[in-house]
Amino acid sequence: MRLRRPVLLLLVALAAMALAACGRPDQVLEAETEGLYVDLSELQYQVQVSRQLNPSDPADQPYLSGLPAGRQDLEPGEAWFAIFLRANNPSDQPQPTATEFEVLDSQENEFFPLPLGPENQFDWPVEEPVLVAPGDVFPPVGSPADEGPIGGALILFKVPISSLQNRPFELIIEGPETDPVEAEISLDV
């Protein structure tokens, strides 16, 4: 009979650890469509829109500025795919933005974002996090990315045109090492 209590305490402790590994109980880690918020660490992320970019369209050309050398051109059968994202910091402490993103198509093909140079005014930095002040948002209020027609910062991918048929796409946002949880948003492509 005395062994039951330690075993029960051990089971409770293991269950608590398992729940802790899955994030906060009130944390929303999946969104079935764009426009819904997911919680990751202390920030809330929202996809404003995702879409293919047309490099011949003057309205899309500013989004393609700052591409790394040797990555500016599309190969035959490739397309530019853009995700415009916002982050909200409801906490009372500055919080770093996510820098690890991945897009999966329905065939489990993986795509990773291209870093853009500082001349791109719409860029979501994927190499270094940005600190978002308490109660503030990224992209910053009044910035071109905030005031543009989409209202989000750009995460840019090169994808095979054939993958655009493999819907839905899923955006995976990875939390920082201090909170290794990931959030998933289904994209409307």
Beta-carbon neighbour count of residue 59 at 10 Å?
9
The tens digit of pLDDT for each residue in 169-181 reads 999 999 877 777 8
Tens of pLDDT along the chain (189 residues)?
444 544 444 444 444 344 444 445 678 999 999 999 999 989 999 999 999 999 999 999 999 999 988 788 899 999 999 999 999 999 999 999 999 999 999 999 999 999 999 999 999 999 999 999 999 999 999 999 999 889 999 999 999 999 999 989 999 999 877 777 899 999 976
- Predicted structure pTM score: 0.84
Indicate the fold that domain 24-187 takes in CATH.
Answer: Immunoglobulin-like (2.60.40)
Contact 182, 174 (CB under 8 A): yes
Closest alpha carbon to 86 in 143, 127, 29: 143
Going from the C-alpha of 184 to that of each of 33, 66, 96, 113, 187, the distances in angstroms are 10, 27, 18, 16, 9
Per domain, the residue ranges of the chain are 24-187
Q: What is the pLDDT of residues 115-148, one digit of tens each?
A: 999 999 999 999 999 999 999 999 999 999 999 8
